[in-house]
Structures are given as C-alpha cells and as structure tokens.
Amino acid sequence: MTLHSVSKEQRETVRQLLHLVLIRDMGTFTAQRFKDWIKEMDQKFRKVGLTLQFAIRDREVSFTIREIRSRRTVFQFSSATRVTFENRDVVMSYDQIGGIVS
C-alpha cells in the first residue's frame, strides 16, 4: 500500500508523525508521556479517517497506520531510537486510547 492512494489530509497527517518521530528523541519519553503523546496523535489521525497503532518490541516503537473504514494498512515504520521503558509499562489497548468501544 502506498500513500498515493490516500487523501491529501491523510498523507499530511502521516508526514507530520514521521517528522515528529524523526526529530524527537523517543528515549526521553516516560511511559506516561508516551501514552499521552500517542493519545493526542491518535485523535489527529481519527479526524482524517485513520487510526494509529503502536507496538513496543525490544525497546523500539513500531507504528502502524490503518484506515478506519477498511482496516487496511496504509503505512508502517519503526523508530530508530530506543525508548527507556518496556512494553509492559504501557498498559493500554488501541481502543482505550480514544475511548472507542468496539
């Protein structure tokens, strides 16, 4: 899947996330700051019909961006820096981020 198949607003939202992750040192996050940041970013994504999902593996954060309606994956990437907490420190489901009930 390429970003050319999504709307301009969706491409811009993904571009902003990539920019933030590239310039921000993910190692400065605490578990709580990361949860707050993901919640804020997910709200921005939902406004343009996308959802932001993440996974923390070996102290590296992987992001998956999906369309809400079709659930197809639009874009995936991992951060190049390492976070200082483990995945067990961030206890939340994707639906709990935005208060969505499945």
pLDDT in tens, 33-91: 888 888 888 888 899 898 888 888 777 788 888 888 888 888 888 876 666 776 676 65
Q: How confident is the model at residue 101 (pLDDT cuts 50, 70, 90)?
A: very low
| 54 belongs to a structural domain | yes
Which tokens in the block code for residue 11?
Answer: 């491409």
The domain of 40 spans: 3-95
Dihedral over alpha carbons 13, 18, 23, 25 (to 10 degrees): 110
More confident residue, 94 or 68: 68
12-16: average pLDDT: 82
| 87 belongs to a structural domain | yes
Q: How confident is the model at residue 3 (pLDDT cuts 50, 70, 90)?
A: low
The domain total for the chain is 1
Task: Please tell me the predicted confidence (pLDDT) of residue 102.
Answer: 36
Other residues' Cβ atoms within 10 Å of the Cβ of residue 66: 20
CB 1 within 8 A of CB 75: yes
| 101 belongs to a structural domain | no
| 9 belongs to a structural domain | yes
